[in-house]
Amino acid sequence: MRVLNGVADEFKFRRIADNEIEELRCCGPRELLARLDVPLWKVPAIARYMRRLKTQHMRDIPLFPGVREMLLTLARKNLTLALVSSDHEANVRRQLGAQTAALFAYFDCGASLFGKAAKFKRVTKRSAVASTETIAIGDEIRDIEAARSAGIACGLVSWGYADPSVLRSHNPDFMFESMAEITERL
């Protein structure tokens, strides 16, 4: 959100006012694009630009507190961990750090705005874990949509980008309020 208006200027879409941020957290990706007057043909270039910005500012973007411990606990329970992201794999690995990244058996990164379902399907197939034993955990409406399209359960966290009440209204299979709740329920 810190850089969005600079990106808006660069790609000639509507800037947002500070008082709109909470309202925009309630939008799905298609609605967000429409409200910002972003044509679909610009989305790939904007995504590439945003990934470059993230790479430049990664040291200013910490993991949520407790992520490493939660992932380590899941790995100790012999769960197969996979990471699907819109970001580049190099960024994801750098953000996690080598020890935490090593907990993941599979990475499938670089998903387009509406491309996570295909990535979920591919990771599920590669892992040989049954789709009935698989859950995607995310923080956006598009994560719910992608998980459902891929035929896997969806869990959402209340502390990410999207407004938790909006996420709940999309009826995810699980809604997690804390890192500890993830490890307890899985």
pLDDT at position 3 is 80
**Angstrom distances, CA of residue 156 to CA of 16, 127, 169:** 26, 22, 12
The pLDDT tens digits of the residues spanning 18-56 come to: 888 878 887 878 888 898 999 989 988 888 888 888 888
pLDDT tens per residue across all 186 residues of the chain: 668 888 899 999 999 888 888 788 878 788 888 989 999 899 888 888 888 888 888 888 888 999 999 999 999 999 999 999 988 899 999 999 999 999 999 999 988 777 899 999 999 999 999 999 999 999 988 899 999 999 999 999 999 888 899 899 999 999 999 999 999 999
pLDDT at position 137 is 96
The pair of structure tokens assigned to 21 is 């941020």
Is the backbone of residue 37 left (phi > 0), alpha (psi -120 to 50) or beta? left
Q: Which long-range contacts (CB under 8 A, 24 or more apart) does 56-60 make?
A: 57/3, 58/91, 58/94, 58/95
Instruction: For residue 19, count other CB atoms closer than 10 A to its CB.
Output: 7
> Residue written as tokens 């995310």?
138
pLDDT at position 1 is 63
> The pTM is what?
0.82
Give which of 24, 62, 63 is closest to 161, Cα–Cα. 24
The pair of structure tokens assigned to 172 is 């995810």
AA letter at 71: L
Give which of 112, 160, 98, 153 is closest to 131, Cα–Cα. 153
Give which of 29, 17, 148, 3 is closest to 86, Cα–Cα. 29
pLDDT at position 53 is 84
66: helix, strand or coil:
coil
pLDDT at position 161 is 80
Helix then strand count (H, E) for the chain reads 11, 5
> Biggest alpha carbon distance in the chain?
48
Q: Residues, the chain, total?
A: 186
